[in-house]
Amino acid sequence: MATPTIDGSASTAVETCPAEIREILQAAAGGAELTFEQGLVLATAGGAALEALVAVADRLRQQTAGDAITYVVNRNINFTNVCFVGCSFCGFGRGPGAADAYSLSFEEVVRRAREAWDRGATEVCVQGGLPRDLDGFFYRDLLRAIKHAIPGMHVHAFSPMEIDYGVLKTGMPLRDYLRMMKDEGLGSIPGTAAEILDDRVRKELSPNKLPAARWVEIISAAHELGIPTTSTMMYGHVEEPADWVRHMLLLREIQKRTGGFTEFVPLGFIHENTRLYRHGGARPGAKRDEHLRVHALARVLLHGAIKNLQVSWVKLGFETSLACLQAGANDFSGTLMEESISKAAGATFGEYVSPEEFRARIRSIGRIPAERTTTYKIRRIFDQPEQDPRPAVAQLPMVQSESRVTYTEGAY
């Protein structure tokens, strides 16, 4: 790949910004790995400096990932909301005695997965809360049930927190546990439960969450065993810009060592229904400029390491997502079909986006839609709108209340 250069509108934006910013962005465009100090300067950019950062990030995106914006047809399945961890930023978790606590049977999870497959999904993303009475091999058995019923479905499942819990419950060594899960068909792991990879911040957010070093250990072991993962960062709460930079540089370091991250996903904090915000411990999420700054910073700091940068439309909404897709991001995430965790925290941007709507929104900013697999293999490029497939079912039927079985002790 040719050495990236700053040209066109990016060049104009850079020339009009402060000299210190200009030098850093020129270094990044020339392929240099930025330092913490340089990253921190960019992380606090505003005005003309932010415009230049966004322009250069978009140029690096174009040179690295092209003009396609990818998406995956998938379904989220959150199998229980019962959780003892008690993260202050979470509006999803419930105690086992809560009136709205629920648990899905294996049969219901498989039904939802098959329904998604029949509507063109290639992936199910399976995660849930952590009930105290979870059987040690629950995650393995749930994985088996899905893969037995739908062998072709990619199962993207079980965050590092859930993997750690499975290891604890079974008593197996981490690598043996991960090998077992891979052998049973685990395709990839969501790199959630990362929040901010700094134990000072993590203790404020959730004292019971696994330490940063354990997250890194689990992710690294998965990569070394050939299990790809995503990577994430939650921002807009109690963290500071320096925390973003340290977090991203740690991910860059892991990626240089393992190559196992498929993408980086910045996750804006949804504050409305969270204890962290209600008790005055966090700001009310990020504003538009902060969303742009985080996504553009990620493209620049992770350049040459993590190719794909994803927007979370559930957390950002479509207008801000499209702006971030012009600020370094190249992936629109998935159709989801249902999404419980962000919704429970107060997100209002819906639970499902059809492939047709993704394509229309992508074209509205002059880019090319492309459907991908979980691991970013392109299934189809939609460069000719007139050749788009006919719309499938416009909306997945809403989940029926009777399928959300009330949680009872011993359910797991």
- Mean pLDDT computed over 20-39: 95
At 87-103, the pLDDT tens digits run 655 666 677 788 888 99
Element (DSSP H or E) covering residue 199: helix 199-205
Q: How far apart are CA 292 and CA 56, in angstroms?
A: 12
Task: Output the six-digit token pair for 251.
Answer: 């991910």
Q: Is the pLDDT of residue 339 over 50?
A: no
How far is Cα of residue 113 from the mean position of the Cα atoms in its chain? Answer: 20
At 358-385, the pLDDT tens digits run 999 999 999 999 999 999 999 999 999 8
Degrees (nearest 5) of the Cα angle 136, 205, 160? 30
Beta strand residue intervals within 56-100, DSSP E: 68-72, 74-78
Task: Output the six-digit token pair for 238.
Answer: 């109690």
Percent of the chain with pLDDT over 70: 83
- Mean pLDDT computed over 111-130: 94
The residues facing 232 across adjacent strands are 265
Q: Per-residue confidence at 12, pLDDT binned at 50, 70, 90?
A: confident
Residue scoring higher pLDDT (133 or 174) = 174
Report pLDDT for 279.
55
Q: Is the pLDDT of residue 151 over 50?
A: yes
Beta strand residue intervals within 122-192, DSSP E: 123-127, 154-157, 186-188
How many C-alpha atoms does 400 have within 13 Å on its Cβ side?
Answer: 5
At 182-217, the pLDDT tens digits run 999 999 999 998 989 999 988 887 777 899 999 999
Residue scoring higher pLDDT (330 or 403) = 330
Report pLDDT for 336.
84
Q: How far apart are CA 257 and CA 263, in angstroms?
A: 15
Report pLDDT for 90.
67
Report pLDDT for 95.
79
The type of residue at 57 is: A
Q: How far apart are CA 305 and CA 257, in angstroms?
A: 10
How many residues are present in the chain? 412
Beta strand residue intervals within 250-309, DSSP E: 261-268
At 251-260, the pLDDT tens digits run 999 999 999 9
Report pLDDT for 98.
84
Residues 6+ apart with CB under 8 A from 226: 182
At 57-79, the pLDDT tens digits run 999 999 999 999 999 999 999 99
Provide the phi-psi class of 48: left if phi over 0, else alpha when psi is between -120 and 50, else beta. alpha
Q: Is the pLDDT of residue 8 over 90?
A: no
Answer whether 73's CB lies under 8 Å from 355's CB.
yes
Residue scoring higher pLDDT (85 or 194) = 194
Report pLDDT for 352.
80
Degrees (nearest 5) of the Cα angle 16, 308, 194? 100
Handedness of CA 310, 256, 215, 170 (dihedral sign): positive
Provide the phi-psi class of 225: left if phi over 0, else alpha when psi is between -120 and 50, else beta. alpha
Answer whether 27's CB lies under 8 Å from 55's CB.
no
3-state helix vs strand vs coil in the chain, percent to 5: 45, 15, 40
What is the β-pairing status of strands 378-381 and 368-372? antiparallel
Tokens 């961890």 found at: 85
Report pLDDT for 251.
98
Answer whether 160's CB lies under 8 Å from 215's CB.
yes
Residue 378: phi and psi, rounded to 5, are -80, 125
How many helices (H) and strands (E) are present in the chain, helices listed first? 16, 12
Tokens 């990569």 found at: 223
Task: Output the six-digit token pair for 15.
Answer: 């020339």
Q: Is the pLDDT of residue 284 over 90?
A: no
The CB density around residue 307, as the number of other CB atoms within 10 Å, is: 18
Q: Is the pLDDT of residue 289 over 80?
A: yes
Tokens 């940068």 found at: 309
Q: How far apart are CA 396 and CA 114, in angstroms?
A: 13
Residues 6+ apart with CB under 8 A from 58: 10, 296, 299, 326, 327, 328
Task: Output the six-digit token pair for 365.
Answer: 């900013």
Q: Is the pLDDT of residue 398 over 70?
A: no
pTM for this predicted structure: 0.89
- Write the DSSP symbol of residue 144: H
Lowest mean pLDDT: which of 4-13, 112-121, 235-244, 352-361? 4-13
DSSP of 128-140: ----TT--TTHHH
